[in-house]
Chain A
């Protein structure tokens, strides 16, 4: 018979791991008691498989098993909740030819109470056997039923014990081969237990921790914080300690992250369970990132030139530096409630919108240009703007570097005006200065040749003209000297 139920029953039986095991006192005590109560020479705890019945306990008989065909118990299992009784096997059709009846041990009387497991399977029986016809009183039957219950309890205990052993093994495997260090401490941080992984994690054998205090290993600067956290555990079930430095077996300091669970109420642990792992690599890189962030933040905040960061989508200021606050006159809070439109005069807004549209289309990372900005007091300044796209606290933003070129611009304008004036002077000189000179040259030319086409009177005129032109020349030069001095005084820088 190997239907579904039978299959499950056999699996259940197998999982008990009772078959072919040695006798155990607990079971023998129960068969002993059953034989005594029922006043029979034989009592057995049988386990029935599909081929045989095994006697886990056999009181009053030496054999430990028989084939299934000879089994009385197999019949008993058909009524799992009731005791199965054969008063005289010699008169029973089912058993009168049974070798156990016909020959040794000459079974006559049989009473078997099925042993039903927690899964609901009848695995075998607690039975009593006699060699003469018998009847059991009601009290005896009840006692037999109670003892059968005790046997099944033994079965369950066994099963539980096996379960515990398995989970313990699994737990040990985890504790011994994981990358985490597990330690049990008392409230004073004295080690009660340290997992073997301490060798991998800290380079220290677990037994070296015995009788020592965890604080001995912690960096002096971190000790106080770690101990303070430990005290908090009197009220809290679990907490994560701020990373601290722990002395590695090789003498180096390692950054350790620890989660402590208060299991002082758990009698199996009765202590603080610390799960620790080495996070030195993470801390080191975090520190490097923080350092670099601080450096860039300093560059921003301490820059002598105005700088700010604004949100590309909303155009709101996200951060401004001290130089910007000083230069534009808005406070930090005012800036953070403004958009970049606010620092431009009305006339520049159109230009701004056009530029924004353009940069949206082109996605240029770096831009550079000259714009007009307006300070809080209304003063307009000309600025050189350099921008760069960056991500600021998860927002798409632009960082802006401002150079106020108003002075430079004015200076350039003054230079250009002066240049214009100088050009004019050059032109005047070209005409006015050269005029008398050219005349003198022409006149002398005529004097040089003793030409008959110039008469005496005209020659005198020529000399007179030369003298006049020379006088004029002299006057002009004096004038130029005066004008140049005057103009250079007027065109001082910054005018």
Chain B
């Protein structure tokens, strides 16, 4: 297993609930941290995420307090560990969103359209060598 902490960031409880159950199926539920408010999530990551911890973030884009891209902007300018992988999980099928996601290569590893499938999540969390960047559109 690659990640020590898995952050679920989505303004909808039901999405996080879904993702938690998927992690449970993969036996990773206890590593999940759930946030409906992205600002809170950022604070938490900054507070707890040291270089020794490998972190995965399942990030929604369309959120009222802060969009997924703003979230990524904060990560770019703030002091964040290099050990963080972001998977954008969105209901959008818009190509412009995929294009935007590419602008944060330091963190963004993949772009996944909802609903997130269990197999996809398994690949993301299991892969020893990390997720291939070529998965990006």
Contact = CB atoms under 8 A, between A and B. Distances in A.
Contact of A438 (B17, B25, B114, B118): B114
B93 A434 contact: yes
A136 to B, nearest CB: 144
A468 B92 contact: no
Interface of A: 426-427, 430-432, 434-435, 437-439, 441-443, 445-446, 451, 453-454, 458, 461, 465, 468-469
6 contacts: A431-B62, A431-B91, A434-B91, A441-B115, A446-B18, A458-B21
A465 B115 contact: no
Contacts of B18: 439, 442-443, 446
Given A427-B97, A438-B113, A454-B21, 11 more contacts: A426-B94, A431-B94, A435-B91, A438-B91, A438-B114, A439-B14, A439-B115, A442-B114, A442-B115, A442-B116, A465-B14
Contact of B91 (A430, A445, A468): A430
B61 interface: yes
Interface residues of B, number: 23
Given A442-B18, A443-B18, A453-B24, A430 B115 contact: no
Contacts of A451: 25
Interface in B57-99: 61-62, 90-94, 96-97
B131 interface: no
B92 A434 contact: yes
Contacts of A427: 92, 94, 96-97
A451 B18 CA distance: 14
B21 A430 contact: no
A389 B117 CA distance: 70
Contacts of B15: 439, 442
Interface centre among B61, B115, B116 (most CB of A within 10 A): B115
A458 B20 CA distance: 12
Given A439-B18, A451-B25, A453-B25, A432 B62 contact: yes
Contacts of B118: 445
Nearest to B14: A465
A459 B44 CA distance: 30
B62 A435 contact: yes
Interface in B112-131: 113-118
A431 B92 contact: yes
A270 to B, nearest CB: 105
B73 to A, nearest CB: 18
